[in-house]
Amino acid sequence: MPQANPDGVRAGRVVAILRDREGRRLREVSDTLIDAGVRALELTTNTPGAAEVVTGIASAGRAHVGMGTVRRPDQVRLAADAGASFVVTPSLSLAVGELALDLGLDWYPGAVTPTEIEAAWAAGATAVKVFPVASLGGPQYLSELRGPLDDIPQIPTGGVRLEDIRDYLRRGAYAVGVGSPLLGSAFADGDLAGLRARALDVVSAATAEQP
């Protein structure tokens, strides 16, 4: 199957993953990340209010925005209706991927093994989310995958530390997915100043490793 156009994620090389039980500060956290230069945001479907915030970001054209933790076709339709550009899944769901591509969305499925990664790419994945990468060996695991699978764009995600972003990118990551190490306590206590400082560091690291 033909792959969709991943330019939005590729351009910034970092995808900020926003997941929160309450979602009270979702909009202000998103705005802070965008203002700091983060160009791709993934808001998870199990975060209250995610679809509405995605719509606001997409309508303003301020960033490449998608929805994550998409596990069912109805969640793909939710993302599409909200104006998302892409969907991210924790595993390889062919039904989700087929619908996403039919609706013109980029599709980033989660995979662990070379067999899963090959299957995701053959099914039309825009790029493959290697998840949970930190539990599998971090940057070294990505290097080992990239040996035989260097033609498949891979996005290491899950436990990615901010200090390892450059290492992942040097080892061939297409982009890097970053969640709680970037967000810190911003959702819990509204520390947007700390969030902005971390986001600026992340953007600087990603920019330094542009191909």
Indicate which residues carry an active-site annotation: 42, 129
C-alpha dihedral over 131, 137, 139, 140, to 10 degrees?
Answer: -130
Cβ distance 38 to 12 under 8 Å? yes
* DSSP secondary structure, the chain, as one string: ------HHHHHH-EEEEE--SS-TTHHHHHHHHHHTT--EEEEETTSTTHHHHHHHHHHHT-SEEEEES--SHHHHHHHHHHT-SEEE-SS--HHHHHHHHHTT-EEE-EE-SHHHHHHHHHTT-SSEEETTHHHHTTHHHHHHHHTTTTTS-EEEBSS--GGGHHHHHHTT-S-EEE-HHHHTTHHHH--HHHHHHHHHHHHHHHHHT--
